[in-house]
Amino acid sequence: MAKKYFRRATVIAFALAVFVGTGAQAQQSSLNIYNWNDYIAPETIPNFEKATGIKVTYDVYDANETLEAKLSAGGSGYDIVVPTLVPFAARQIQAGFYQPLNKAKLTNIGHLDKSLLARMAAYDKDNSYLIPWMTGLVGIAYNVDKIKQIMPDAPVDSLRMLFDPEIVSKFKDCGVSMIDSPTEVFPPALKMIGLNPDSQNIADLQKAADVHFKVRPYIRRYDSSEYINALANGDICVAWGYSSDIQIAKHRAMEAGKGVNIAFAIPKEGAQRYIDTLAVPKDAPHAEAAWKFLDFIMQPEEIAKTSNKIYVQSGNADARQFVTPDVANDPGIFPSAEVEQTIYSISPSTPDVDRARTRFWTRVKTGH
Amino acid sequence: MIRHVRFLGSPKPGEGRIWVIAGPFLWFMIFFVIPFVVVAKISLSTAAVSIPPYVPLVGWGEDGTLNIALHFGNYHFLLTDPEYVIAYLSSLRNAAVTSLVTLLIGYPVAYAIATTKETLRGPLLMLVIMPFWTSFLIRVYAWIGILKPNGLINNFLMSLGLINHPLDILNNQFSVYVGMVYAYLPFMILPLYSCLEKMDHSLLEAANDLGARPIRAFVSITLPLSLPGIIAGSLLVFIPAVGEYIIPTLLGGADTLTIGTVLWNEFFGNRDWPVASTVAVALIVLLVGPLMLLQHFQSKGERS
């Protein structure tokens, strides 16, 4: 009896598998997305599900390293991920993490920002793996009223705000914070002492670490997520961070209505642009659904909703006309052509340089 | 059915025991030994940009030879940079201070619960366990709200006029200790309680009758009798506290260097799984000592 039952179950399971198999080829019914926290308009996923009938599982992370560790292990099960271009996506392409874009299925690809694509082509030849999602700059956040009170003539749009001990020391008591990410703190320190911000020379990195050592006593915290709230609450008054985070802090402070006024400044010495990109892992179980989603969000009206929600420039040039004026006219989000000239890029480093940079950074933070 | 009863009634020596041991043994194999072997294996490799991100230990040569390459260099590497030794030492110090302070706070609490009315003991123990019903992460975050410059403590002291400048009590060694003592206190109280509760109180009465002062009675009767509880509690606190990552990360300052931070740097920052695994193996070796001590005292406690 049991044996007969088992045999029948096997037959049914096989039939089901064949049925589902052919069904999957015609239309995949689910999609797994892994994106940064607070990095999409809340209506985008429901709209996509309604339009296509594909069920989306949406997970979030808060560090490129987390994503990279998951993809390194293989078999992550995700169909779309959002790595930052440099150094992450750049080296991940070389390590064979992703599959080439199926451009035949991406009809909206013409809306993408050509200048960003040109920038990306240096790491992703012929733009064959990555689609730009959102882009921003690493720069200075400050509490307008507190800075005015402490130092009316503070050079708020200069790296000296954070990397000149004489200036940053004045803000020690009201709180200074810096993101805890070696790849975003060494370039400005190199720039500060007139070296190439993209230097891959370990001796140069040592000099940049010395710049950090000198301002170390005045930095309250090295952290990449808490500073958003700390800025919005008025717990700190100067921060080195990502423009998208700082915009969130600024708007949270406005919503709280406690009179905290946060501003973002692009350092006039030059700034580093980060580009977060969409990519499809090589072992993505639902690649067909992934192409559908990528094509869906490349519609200018769709991606503009995310730009409006998180106050960030998207990688879609045609979306700008659908972005609300307070976002589109903010020079911190869409910099002028002259400012754009000063923006530099960083190249991926060899493991030795990575190790040296991480080691210097630990020494800056801990003194050991 | 009858056969079944007979089997239970007259066990052949050793036969039933195997099955009783098999459960925990399997558990131990699957969740400790196998992962440990995997980690130890990775620690003998070198990093590579691939999936997975290290060079496989076993490979086939072009002429069909089997190549096995073991790199012991990672273990030597840990000694070349003081970062690792400092991180181990500060993790050990954090764990030692936490164990000591939880013992000093937990002992009186456990003693009070064990000597109170029997009807009250249940509710009091409940209070000790209650925090576990809230997510650990949220409880640590709550401490940020309590200790921060415009947090509960500072606002309260400032409103009383006792201080006019916020106390610097967050993001330093002090706040790490506060968080760790808070988080691990129940692990100290529970074994102490179960030990003190079983104690025979007529021994204290006898000491009293023979003229011993309460302090003398405590030192020469209660304390030695509760020693197994002290040891069990201390090790239950010490061992997980050495590897603690969340509390130093959230409540510590930039200068907090623990083995958890080092592991994060190696695994995520440098993407060097072999060195990260080496750090982990060294940590386990470091913890085997205390674990064996715990085992030794537990088996001794059971025998007595």
A288 and A216 housed in the same domain: no
> CA A207 to CA A211: how far, in whole Å?
7
Partners of B267 on chain A (C-beta within 8 Å) are 69
Q: Which residue has the higher pLDDT, A125 or A14?
A: A125
Going by C-alpha positions, the residue among A112, A123, A246, A98 that lies closest to residue A184 is A246
Q: What is the DSSP letter of B11?
A: P
pLDDT value, residue B301:
64
Mean pLDDT score, A81-102: 93
pLDDT value, residue B269:
82
Please tell me which residue of chain A has the smallest CA distance to B51.
A72
pLDDT value, residue A16:
47
Partners of A356 on chain B (C-beta within 8 Å) are none
CB contact under 8 A, B257 and A96: no
Substitution target from A172, A362, A364 for chain B, most B beta carbons within 10 A: A362
Task: Band the pLDDT of A106: cuts 50, 70, 90.
Answer: very high
- Please report whether residue A287 resides in a domain: yes
Cβ of B138 under 8 Å from any chain A Cβ?
no
- Please report whether residue A64 resides in a domain: yes
A181 and A242 housed in the same domain: yes
Please tell me which residue of chain A has the smallest CA distance to B256.
A366
A119 and A142 housed in the same domain: no
* Across A134-148, A283-297, B54-68, B263-277, least confident range: B54-68
Percent of the residues in chain A that have a pLDDT greater than 90, as a whole number: 73
A204 and A162 housed in the same domain: yes
- Please report whether residue A49 resides in a domain: yes
pLDDT value, residue A349:
85
Least CB–CB distance from B268: residue in A65, A95, A362: A65
Least CB–CB distance from A351: residue in B47, B86, B257: B47
Pairing of strands A131-143, A238-242: antiparallel
pLDDT at B113 over 60: yes
Percent of the residues in chain B that have a pLDDT greater than 90, as a whole number: 47
pLDDT at B250 over 50: yes
> CA B182 to CA B132: how far, in whole Å?
12
pLDDT at A100 over 50: yes
Partners of A91 on chain B (C-beta within 8 Å) are 49
Q: Which residue has the higher pLDDT, B73 or A31?
A: A31
Percent of the residues in chain A that have a pLDDT greater than 70, as a whole number: 92
Going by C-alpha positions, the residue among A132, A85, A126, A125 that lies closest to residue A347 is A85
Query: How close does chain B come to A183, measured CA to CA in Å?
Result: 10
Give pLDDT tens digits for A213-237.
999 999 988 888 889 999 999 989 9
Question: What ipTM did this prediction achieve?
Answer: 0.71
Mean pLDDT score, A282-306: 95
pLDDT at A7 over 80: no
pTM across the whole model: 0.78
CB contact under 8 A, A235 and B149: yes
Task: Band the pLDDT of A21: cuts 50, 70, 90.
Answer: very low
The CATH number linked to A99 is 3.40.190.10
Note whether A145 and A237 are within 8 A (CB). Answer: no
A219 and A355 housed in the same domain: yes
Give pLDDT tens digits for A167-180.
999 999 899 999 98
Note whether A44 and A70 are within 8 A (CB). Answer: no
Torsion angle, CA of B297/B300/B301/B302, rounded to 10 degrees? 130
Mean pLDDT score across all residues of chain B: 87
Mean pLDDT score, B119-123: 93
Least CB–CB distance from A73: residue in B52, B148, B255: B52
Partners of A366 on chain B (C-beta within 8 Å) are 86, 254-257
pLDDT at B293 over 80: no
> What is the end-to-end Cα distance of chain B in Å, rounded?
39
pLDDT at B1 over 70: no
- Please report whether residue A339 resides in a domain: no
A23 and A115 housed in the same domain: yes
pLDDT value, residue A75:
87
A85 and A228 housed in the same domain: no
Domains in chain B, CATH or no CATH each? 74-303 (1.10.3720.10)
Task: Band the pLDDT of A28: cuts 50, 70, 90.
Answer: low
* Of A26-40, A98-112, B162-176, highest mean pLDDT: A98-112
Least CB–CB distance from B270: residue in A72, A358, A365: A358
Give pLDDT tens digits for B8-47.
555 566 667 788 888 888 998 898 889 999 999 999 998 8
Joined together, the tokens standing for residue B39 give 């980690």
pLDDT value, residue A18:
45
Partners of A355 on chain B (C-beta within 8 Å) are 270, 272
pLDDT at A19 over 60: no
- Please report whether residue A167 resides in a domain: yes
Q: Which residue has the higher pLDDT, B170 or B188?
A: B188
pLDDT at A2 over 60: no
Task: Band the pLDDT of B79: cuts 50, 70, 90.
Answer: confident
pLDDT value, residue B14:
64
CB contact under 8 A, A73 and B270: no
Rounded to the nearest 5°, which phi and psi values hold at B130? -50, -45
Give the domain extent around A201.
136-273+344-366
A124 and A245 housed in the same domain: no
Query: Structurally, how many domains does chain A consist of?
Result: 2
A222 and A361 housed in the same domain: yes
Task: Give the number of other CB atoms < 10 A from CB of residue A289.
Answer: 25
A288 and A252 housed in the same domain: no
Mean pLDDT score, B244-273: 88
Least CB–CB distance from B50: residue in A69, A95, A366: A95
pLDDT value, residue A54:
95
Question: What is residue A36's three-state secondary structure?
Answer: strand
Total residue length of chain A: 368
A199 and A348 housed in the same domain: yes
- Alpha carbon of A234 to those of A230, A239, B71, B102: distances in Å? 6, 11, 51, 35
pLDDT at B54 over 60: yes
Q: Which residue has the higher pLDDT, B302 or A83?
A: A83
A191 and A257 housed in the same domain: yes
CB contact under 8 A, A359 and B81: yes
- Please report whether residue A244 resides in a domain: yes
Pairs of CB atoms within 8 A across A/B: 76
pLDDT at B179 over 90: yes
pLDDT value, residue A1:
40
Please tell me which residue of chain A has the smallest CA distance to B255.
A366
